Amino acid sequence: MKVIISAAGTGGHINPGIAIANKIKEKDPKSEIIFIGTNRGLENDLVPRAGYTLKTIDVYGLKKEFSFQNLKHIIQTINSRKDVKKIFDEFKPDLVLGTGGYICGPVFYVATSRKIPTVLHESNAYPGKAVKMFSKKVDRILVGFEDTKSRLKGCRNVVVTGTPTKIRKLEITKERKKELLDGLGIKNDLPIVLVFGGSQGAKKINEAVIELIKLKKNDKYQIIWATGTKQYDIVKEDFEKSNISINNIKNVKVLPYIYNMEEIMNIVDLMVARSGAMTITEISIVGKPAIFIPLPSMSANRQEDNALVLKKIGAAKIILNKDVNGTNLSEEIDEIIEDTNELNEMGKMANSIAPRDVEERIYQEIEKILKK
């Protein structure tokens, strides 16, 4: 089997593509897989690191407003079809798979015009432009949420599989939990809140947590806080202006990045985060309650739609990005952690929608298409 996977930009697009590629390799070790991306996104690090070849094309996400820069990007994106055709001619794929985003435009234009079997995976609750554009042309659309299926009306080729992720629900022993907490300087006598905004961090969330800490609102709980590698020094400097040492804050451990996120997610009591599709999936898998602060978007409120999936079943609360501050964030945290029964029930509800055997289900759909 020869497969091309188009994935670019963020980990939310790239990591599902890599997870699917790994499953194909597991099932068919002789399969050949290459990725198509750009020379600008995280794919340039993540794809080679995963052991796959990356081919790049000059393609851009298109903006609504007119500008000469946008016009230039439109022309470059249209012209990128020539590069896609060249890659297809050389590789001769049996299947083309995409995980959403602007990279899928030229790739799926060529794939569908050549009638090559095609699969799109949509992680978000609200389908993106690429999925909508090719929804009636591809052989299968695999989606992360049941809600997504209802937003693709008239499409009979939609299958709910869930979104692939590396995070798993773990049974952490008391000894291992103590070891992890001791390493962070965190005790086990208060509830633990995990705050993160992705690898780059979330400025608005960081500002709210800084305010929360300066107001000394966190006496009832402890915080493990990943600021994002690019924002750690900014947060550190902000605290220093108030004569606060970032390494000596009561009930708080501040880190640029958490490398053992799977274990940390499994030992905390509550999470505060953005609501990208991958984060929603991971939180549901570990079965934890959450407070989401969705990243706003001018074109579509995808993260807010994602967060609503868990809010509707009572597993999460939402504070809009424009509204969040130290006071209302602390109030929401206090309200949830005060009631242990609610805390546990929210976690159970989150886990109730966790996808099962995602990669296996995706592979089965691929097999069905290729057998035709």
Strand partners, 272: 195, 291
**What is the average pLDDT value for the chain, to the nearest integer?**
92
Mean pLDDT, range 137-156, rounded to an integer:
88
37-75 pLDDT per residue, tens: 998 888 998 899 999 999 999 887 666 666 766 677 677
pLDDT score of 148 more than 60: yes
- DSSP class per residue in 29-58: TT-EEEEEE-SSSTHHHHHHHTT-EEEE--
For residue 155, give Cα distances in angstroms to 150, 158, 317: 9, 6, 32
Question: C-alpha dihedral over 11, 12, 15, 20, to 10 degrees?
Answer: -160
What percent of the chain shows pLDDT beyond 70? 95
**CATH code given to domain 174-352:** 3.40.50.2000
324-355 pLDDT per residue, tens: 999 999 999 999 999 999 999 999 999 999 98
| Fold observed for domain 2-163+356-371 | Rossmann fold (3.40.50)
Instruction: Identify the pLDDT of residue 73.
Output: 64
Could you tell me if 350 and 291 are in contact, meaning their C-beta atoms sit under 8 angstroms apart? no
Instruction: Please name the residue that has the structure tokens 């939990």.
Output: 177
Mean pLDDT, range 156-176, rounded to an integer:
92
Instruction: Identify the pLDDT of residue 83.
Output: 93
With cut-offs at 50, 70 and 90, classify the pLDDT of residue 300: low
- DSSP class of residue 296 equals P
- The β-bridge relationship of strands 140-143 and 270-273 is unpaired
Mean pLDDT, range 196-217, rounded to an integer:
92
Question: Strand order of the sheet with strand 2-6?
Answer: 53-56, 32-37, 2-6, 95-98, 118-122, 140-143, 158-160
With cut-offs at 50, 70 and 90, classify the pLDDT of residue 77: confident
3-state secondary structure of 159: strand
Phi-psi region of 5 (alpha: psi -120 to 50; beta: other; left: phi over 0): beta
- Name the segment(s) of the chain with CATH classification 3.40.50.2000: 2-163+356-371, 174-352
Please name the helix (run of DSSP H) or strand (run of DSSP E) that holds residue 254, with its range, or none.
strand 252-255
Could you tell me if 17 and 9 are in contact, meaning their C-beta atoms sit under 8 angstroms apart? no
Q: Which of 119, 97, 103, 96 is nearest to 62 (CA)?
A: 103
First to last CA, the chain: 14
Mean pLDDT, range 173-182, rounded to an integer:
96
Quote the pTM value: 0.80
pLDDT score of 92 more than 80: yes
Lowest pLDDT segment from 189-198, 216-225, 289-298: 289-298
With cut-offs at 50, 70 and 90, classify the pLDDT of residue 133: confident
Could you tell me if 216 and 242 are in contact, meaning their C-beta atoms sit under 8 angstroms apart? no
Neighbours of 301 (CB within 10 A): 16
